[in-house]
Amino acid sequence: MSYVKGLKCRECGRIYPKEPLYVCEYCFGPLEVDYDYERIKKKLTRDEIVSRPKNLWRYRELLPIDNEPTDGLDSGFTPLIRAKNLQKLWGVKELYIKDDSVNHPTLSFKDRVVAVALSKAKEFGFTTVACASTGNLANSLAALGTAANLKKYIFIPADLELSKIVGTLIYNPVLVAVEGNYDAVNRLCSEIANKYKWAFVNINIRPYYAEGSKTYGFEIAEQLGWRVPKHIIVPCAGGSLITKIYKGIKEFKNIGLIDKIDTKIHAAQATGCAPIVNAIKENSDIIKPLKPKTIAKSLAIGNPADGIYAVATVKESAGFAEDVSDEEIIEAIKLLAQAEGIFTETAGGVTIGVTKKLIEKGRIPKDESIVVCITGNGLKTQEALAGKIGKPIRIKPTLVSFEENLTRRKKCL
Amino acid sequence: MSIKVRIPTPLQKLTQDKAEVDIDAGGIKDIREFIEKLGKDFPGIKERICDEAGKIRRFINIYVNEEDIRFLKLDKTPLKDGDSISIIPAIAGGGSTQPPSAVSLTIKGGR
């Protein structure tokens, strides 16, 4: 049963059929999935959703597939955690972490988009899938693509974190390390996609793939008891996630699952790669591309595909934007781990650091509800913490040695 | 004397389905003149790359020898024999808008 009417150009509104197309032939605007919301409204009630298994497909009417979902059947529905210790530390009343660092199967929000992209690619009849990735997408496409028995070509910048390379290679895809930054990888991939007829999930499957990110927003609303928070802090790389989270909660409102939206959406980037945040701070609609230089490699996109829409989302919701330095990112990773027991990757350090900044600056009032997006797992970016978190206390296997060393340590403290 | 141009799928109907075409580089100084010449060789293509005001459309990125012209001299980026140019939809290759005042491709002789 399909609720998708077709594709529609986001800029000029031209209509296209449900095919692996991603760009308007006339104005080059991005194509978006066009749903039949009237029919969805009749089918997708709160009771219906609650009766379904706890994965991202519980919202399948709002996802762009025609047949039953085939991939990522255990992805999504990650915990929404009340962050009581951070709440106390920051003096705020209601703070939550939406924790995709434990998403199945590869510990990042990318499992959501890949679940949708692969289900759709198979509907189109593709047998080879591909992507350009800063790491998390590579891990996810490699894992879910393997489970789906698809051939996989994965393109990454050559200087990626070791854990993200290992976490891709283990599934035995064709892994291509391109000598250049992500923007160079992405440009190359769009030329390869032009020539080889593969399902490039973030190029020709992009209109479908990107819809998977909405489920992150759907879950926040459902897990809060069918309401949305006053603030959501979202990490920005290509700018798609922030746009889709907002689209998701607006769809929930449109089909009557939540009553109102008074959510401010805030954009978070690393200072060394902040084209979206810069545009918002300068009150500009123009994204100035730049060469990234940050430890937050998963966010290191200097030329964000959905940058202008990310800016528009923040403006429309009356949100703010902030960036944090590499040092602040590391401090924030440690803060989240040591306050809440959640080990996030550098991108999570960005959202925690930015949230702290926005609260300190008074952009986020302390008595309002806040959800911080944690989209990836710290085990994947351990290099960033080298030399920053101390060392184990090394002892001999004797009680004497244990007590000597602990006493000595106490004296040091 | 030629410049190699890679054409994105949506524009290949205008290049007889060719993904790559050669343009005679004779007399072409920069990107602005290149687009004019491309439009002469493949009628209709200039109107698709540029908007009504003659500016490169906001969703198109142009690369010279793999470098984004926004890191070079925009439409005044100089060209020489043997250069290769890629025209890429912004939504795929990462993208954004150009400063409206900085990139103007209004060509002498009008539209």
Q: What is the pLDDT of residues A308-363, one digit of tens each?
A: 999 999 999 999 999 999 999 999 999 999 999 999 999 999 999 999 999 999 99
**CB contact at 8 A, A117 and A140:** no
Report how far Cα A28 is from the mean position of its chain's Cα atoms.
25
DSSP state of B14: G
**Which residue is associated with the tokens 């219906």?**
A48
B93 vs A187, A287, A288: nearest CB: A187
Label the pairing between strands A151-157 and A80-82: unpaired
**Which residue of A12, A27, A190, A309 to mutate against B (max B Cβ within 10 Å)?**
A190
Whole-number pLDDT of residue A12: 93
Which residues in chain A are contacts of B68 at CB distance < 8 A?
Answer: 183, 187, 289, 303
B93 vs A11, A186, A308: nearest CB: A186
Å between A93 CA and nearest CA of chain B: 38
**CB contact at 8 A, B9 and A194:** yes
Sequence-separated contacts (24+) of A336-340 with Cβ below 8 Å? A336/A86, A336/A97, A336/A374, A337/A378, A339/A83, A339/A85, A339/A86, A339/A89, A340/A81, A340/A83, A340/A85, A340/A86, A340/A97
Question: At residue A244, what are phi and psi to the nearest 5 degrees?
Answer: -75, -30
Which residues in chain A are contacts of B57 at CB distance < 8 A?
Answer: 27-28
Task: Indicate if the pLDDT at residue B111 is higher than 50.
Answer: no
Which residues in chain A are contacts of B58 at CB distance < 8 A?
Answer: 308
Higher-confidence residue of B107 and A74: namely A74
Closest alpha carbon within chain A to B8: A194
Token pair in block for residue A76 = 């999504």
Whole-number pLDDT of residue A410: 58
Whole-number pLDDT of residue B25: 86
Measured CA to CA, the distance from residue A370 to residue A156 in angstroms comes to 34
Task: Indicate if the pLDDT at residue B103 is higher than 70.
Answer: no
pTM exceeds 0.90 for this model: yes
Whole-number pLDDT of residue A407: 75
Closest alpha carbon within chain A to B97: A286
Q: Do B92 and A23 touch (CB under 8 A)?
A: yes
Å between B97 CA and nearest CA of chain A: 5
**CB contact at 8 A, A255 and A40:** yes
Å between B44 CA and nearest CA of chain A: 11
Report how far Cα A37 is from the mean position of its chain's Cα atoms.
25
Number of residues that make up chain B: 111
DSSP state of A389: S
Higher-confidence residue of B110 and A120: namely A120
Which residues in chain B are contacts of A291 at CB distance < 8 A?
Answer: 71
Whole-number pLDDT of residue A406: 86
Q: Do B96 and A304 touch (CB under 8 A)?
A: yes
Measured CA to CA, the distance from residue A92 to residue A264 in angstroms comes to 16
Q: Do B93 and A30 touch (CB under 8 A)?
A: no
Burial A235-251 (b: 16+ CB within 10 A, else e): bbbbbbbbbbbbbbbbb
Residue A86's alpha-carbon distances to A93, A328, B58, in angstroms, are 10, 16, 42
Å between A27 CA and nearest CA of chain B: 7
**Nearest residue to A226 (alpha-carbon basis) of A193, A265, A247, A256:** A256
Provide the angle, in degrees to the nearest 10, between the axes of the packed helices A326-340 and A346-360: 90
- Indicate the average pLDDT of chain B: 82
**Which helix H or strand E contains A153, and what residues bound it?**
strand A151-157
Report how far Cα A372 is from the mean position of its chain's Cα atoms.
12
Provide the angle, in degrees to the nearest 10, between the axes of the packed helices A240-254 and A307-316: 50
- Indicate the average pLDDT of chain A: 96
A303 vs B10, B86, B94: nearest CB: B94
Whole-number pLDDT of residue B104: 32
> Hey, is A207 helix, strand or coil?
helix
Whole-number pLDDT of residue A202: 93
Closest alpha carbon within chain B to A184: B66
Whole-number pLDDT of residue B92: 59
Which residues in chain B are contacts of A23 at CB distance < 8 A?
Answer: 8, 10, 59, 89, 91-92
State the ipTM, two decimals: 0.81
Which residues in chain B are contacts of A186 at CB distance < 8 A?
Answer: 92-94
At A193, the amino acid letter reads A
Closest alpha carbon within chain A to B92: A203
Task: Indicate if the pLDDT at residue B94 is higher than 70.
Answer: no
Measured CA to CA, the distance from residue A121 to residue A152 in angstroms comes to 12
Which residues in chain B are contacts of A28 at CB distance < 8 A?
Answer: 10, 48, 57, 59-60, 89-91
Whole-number pLDDT of residue A194: 87
Low-confidence spans in chain A with pLDDT less than 50: 413
Q: Do A289 and B88 touch (CB under 8 A)?
A: no
Question: At residue A396, what are phi and psi to the nearest 5 degrees?
Answer: -80, 160
